[in-house]
Amino acid sequence: MPGTGLVPARSGMAAAALWVGVLAVSTGAIFARLADAPALVIATGRLAIASLLILPLMGMRHRSAIRTLGRRHLLIAVVSGAFLALHFATWISSLSYTSIANSVLLVNTVPIWTALGGLVLGIDRLDRRGWLAVGLAVIGTVIVSAPSADLTGDGLLGNVLALVGGAAMAAYLLCGRALRARLDLVPYVMLAYGVAAVILLSVTLAAGLPLLGHGTATYLALVGMALIPQLIGHSTYNWSLKALPATAVSISLMGEAVFASLWGWLLFHESLPPATLGGGVLVLAGIVLAQTRLDRTRRAQDGGA
């Protein structure tokens, strides 16, 4: 029964693909640290390069799909891009004030905001098992980041920025859930990434920040961000939104905290105590619980079809 219900038959494939997306997105903090440029320049470069790389895929069929969108869906697309721009601007800025583990913890409060948004909007509501999965993942991410938590001074500013980035990401996913029902992946990400790139470019230029002269290493890091965490990672999330509820996708995103902490330990010598590993197990257990629930729902629907 493709195209009907919240969890169509290909949800198992989408759930598996999310693991690839989470691993890809977890490298974003590493590239952001390697890029020696202001946060807005990094965010602008990431989205602008990703949008330019998608352009060659925009054939006549995809352009026609965008032209047939009504005013309401075009507005949702603009709002989606605006939330994506806000997400990157605040999250990347947070990395200048707090650790990778702490930043990724707070930006990945996405499932909480998505679940609350679903309750308010009356869409993609979680059942008891889904709330349990969110609870496990949230507790796990708290344990992962607790050793590096800093709630004072600049650390507090970084925490607030990351938290805003998480709320913005949740809004972006909810918008994407609505649009992916009408659009294929390529035209949707072209709209979302393109709008976000234009907004970020406008803000960057208005702030008087230079886009040029940042060095080869920085531009290579921006290309890496566009290719791996954006085109592979975020596009995988967006692809999954056609098959899975936004809340289910957002639960899987919390695995980013685990992998990003490992990257921080390997590359930047950030602390990784045993408690962090234990928290990571809880996060992964929450993701598996959520995905198991989806697979059971899918099998039940297929059996009743």
Asked which of 102-116, 143-157, 171-185 is least confident by mean pLDDT, the reply is: 143-157
Q: What is the pLDDT of residues 56-106, one digit of tens each?
A: 888 767 777 777 777 888 888 899 999 999 998 898 888 788 776 677 777
Task: Summarize the confidence of residues 136-155 as an average pLDDT.
Answer: 68
Cα–Cα dist 257/136, whole Å:
13
Cα–Cα dist 300/274, whole Å:
39
Residue 164 has pLDDT above 90, yes or no: yes
* Tokens standing for residue 250: 């957002």
Residue 119 has pLDDT above 50, yes or no: yes
Distances (CA, A) of 277 to 94, 151, 200, 273, 299: 23, 22, 36, 7, 33
Length reported for the chain: 305
Intra-chain end-to-end CA distance of the chain, in Å: 7
What integer pLDDT is reported at residue 301 of this predicted model? 44
* Tokens standing for residue 297: 């729902």
Q: What is the pLDDT of residues 243-300, one digit of tens each?
A: 777 777 887 777 776 777 777 777 767 666 676 677 777 877 877 777 666 544 444 4
Residue type, 140: G
Asked which of 149-163, 218-232, 283-297 is least confident by mean pLDDT, the reply is: 283-297
What integer pLDDT is reported at residue 11 of this predicted model? 61
Q: What is the pLDDT of residues 23-67, one digit of tens each?
A: 898 888 788 888 889 988 998 999 999 999 998 888 767 777 777
Residue pair 263/30 in contact by the 8 Å Cβ criterion: yes
* Tokens standing for residue 177: 């859930």
